[in-house]
């Protein structure tokens, strides 16, 4: 019988060299890495160095099947009276607790307000998410405006860094907000905030107002469309293939590159077999969703909503991003759906919320005031087993818990250099 060979490694003075520590620590879960900072000054210095973050990111990205942690974040920050745990509040250790999330079983959180006297008594909503950063705004009611934002803020909920942007130049009655960042080796290099005017009437152009970290100012862009167009203010914008995406409920998905082509946009027409008559303006809620799933742009539609429910779910895949070629991937009829006993109200219309970031068979839907999961293969619709009770949000705030964002945590917390927040108010 062959004996198992063992090797002993000895270090001078019993101290492990940096190269060895780096190789070991880069194979440890991130929540443990941050705890190890307290082991010694050597470990603290090593883990805190920017080169360690770069190496950790490269190693983690190369691992097969690597899944980043993620959570659902309610769109409104700080719901007074809610018992739901606040994501990274002042009473916990944010870095360790956030990275304890289970990537296969989502949790639901509310982001706390920053500790600022100016923030008291104001309402704040998350408007967009990208690369582990949030863009949120303080809202102030004005009779002639639907959603006037007093000020926009960018925040990193992992590191608890927050800073304000200068106020936009225009007071559009309704806007849809895009947000894109460029991150390199765990450091935020640049960002842009894009406001697009959601005019009630169709027009032959789109109005953009863009804040750039490079210039530090808001700039106007009016882009001619060549056809009558109107951006929906309800769909969340997404970022894919260097473009932000909004939608016109009739024309399709609007692709816009604020970095390289701010004076142009492209229209990706909806699938030809989509239910064109089902528009938000007619029914008053989201009947469809577009998003990035498994590396593709996908379009999810709840078809032909009726007073007693809906007829089917459909999912299309944009096979070639540079063309308008859609492929119908799934069709699920209403009568095929198996509804959990806890969701006995079958006579409802489902609201598309998000695709699962890793599981190709799972989508998330709003169902009455619940956030539910639907498995495309098993046809089963069931309530999510959150450890907290997000349904209480509706009783307190009047807003359903499915009004939320799917937030994927970065492999390593992204640092905001002082140069990008200079001139802004730090919270």
| Of 397, 401, 413, the residue nearest 372 (C-alpha) | 401
Confidence bin at 279 (pLDDT 50/70/90): very low
Q: How far are the Cα atoms of 156, 192, 218 from residue 223, in angstroms, in the given order?
A: 32, 18, 16
Structural contact between residues 80 and 124, judged by C-beta atoms closer than 8 angstroms = no
Helices 50-62 and 41-48 sit at what angle, rounded to 10 degrees? 70
pLDDT digits (tens, 9 = 90+) for 147-197: 566 789 998 888 878 888 998 988 777 889 999 999 987 889 999 999 999
pLDDT at 220 exceeding the cut of 90: yes
- What mean pLDDT, rounded, does the chain reach? 79
Helices 50-62 and 18-25 sit at what angle, rounded to 10 degrees? 40
pLDDT digits (tens, 9 = 90+) for 79-118: 665 555 555 444 444 444 556 656 566 778 887 776 653 4
Enumerate domains of the chain plus CATH numbers. 16-57 (no CATH), 67-421 (2.120.10)
Give the model's pLDDT for residue 90: 44
Structural contact between residues 328 and 316, judged by C-beta atoms closer than 8 angstroms = yes
Stretch 55-60: mean pLDDT: 81
Confidence bin at 200 (pLDDT 50/70/90): confident
Q: Alpha helix (H) ranges present in 36-165?
A: 41-48, 50-62, 94-98
CB atoms within 10 A of CB 247: 26
Give the model's pLDDT for residue 284: 46
pLDDT at 363 exceeding the cut of 90: yes
Question: Which helix (H) or strand (E) segment is 23 a member of?
Answer: helix 18-25
């Amino acid at each position: 019988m062959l004996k198992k060979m063992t090797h002993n490694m000895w270090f001078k003075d019993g101290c492990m060299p940096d190269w060895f520590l780096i190789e070991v620590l880069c194979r440890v879960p991130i929540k443990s890495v941050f705890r190890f900072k307290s082991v010694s000054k050597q470990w603290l210095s090593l883990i805190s160095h920017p080169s360690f973050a770069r190496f950790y990111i490269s190693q983690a990205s190369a691992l097969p099947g690597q899944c980043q942690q993620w959570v659902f974040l309610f769109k409104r920050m700080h719901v007074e009276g809610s018992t739901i745990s606040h994501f990274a509040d002042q009473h916990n250790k944010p870095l360790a607790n956030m990275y304890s999330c289970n990537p296969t079983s989502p949790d639901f959180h509310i982001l706390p307000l920053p500790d600022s006297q100016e923030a008291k008594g104001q309402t704040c909503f998350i408007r967009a998410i990208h690369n582990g950063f949030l863009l949120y705004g303080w809202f102030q009611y004005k009779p002639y405006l639907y959603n006037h934002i007093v000020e926009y803020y960018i925040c990193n909920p992992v590191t608890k860094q927050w800073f304000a942007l200068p106020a936009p130049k225009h007071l559009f009655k309704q806007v849809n907000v895009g947000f894109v960042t460029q991150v390199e080796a765990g450091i935020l290099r640049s960002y842009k905030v894009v406001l697009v005017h959601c005019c009630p009437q169709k027009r032959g152009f789109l109005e953009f107002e863009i804040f750039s970290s490079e210039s530090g100012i808001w700039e106007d862009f009016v882009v001619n469309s060549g056809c009558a167009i109107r951006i929906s203010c309800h769909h969340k914008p997404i970022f894919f293939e260097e473009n932000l995406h909004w939608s016109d409920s009739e024309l399709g998905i609007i692709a816009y590159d604020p970095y390289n082509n701010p004076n142009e946009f492209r229209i990706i027409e909806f699938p030809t077999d989509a239910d064109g008559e089902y528009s938000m303006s007619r029914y008053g809620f989201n009947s469809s969703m577009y998003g990035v799933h498994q590396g593709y742009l996908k379009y999810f539609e709840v078809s032909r909503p009726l007073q007693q429910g809906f007829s089917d779910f459909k999912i299309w895949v944009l096979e070639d991003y540079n063309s308008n070629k859609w492929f119908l991937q799934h069709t699920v009829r209403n009568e095929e759906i198996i509804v959990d006993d806890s969701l006995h109200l079958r006579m409802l219309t489902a609201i598309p919320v998000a695709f699962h970031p890793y599981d190709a068979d799972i989508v998330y839907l709003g169902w009455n005031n619940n956030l539910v999961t639907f498995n495309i293969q098993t046809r089963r619709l069931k309530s999510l087993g959150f450890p907290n009770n997000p349904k209480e949000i509706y009783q307190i705030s009047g807003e359903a818990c499915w009004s939320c964002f799917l937030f994927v945590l970065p492999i390593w917390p992204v640092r905001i250099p002082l140069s990008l927040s200079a001139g802004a108010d730090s919270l």
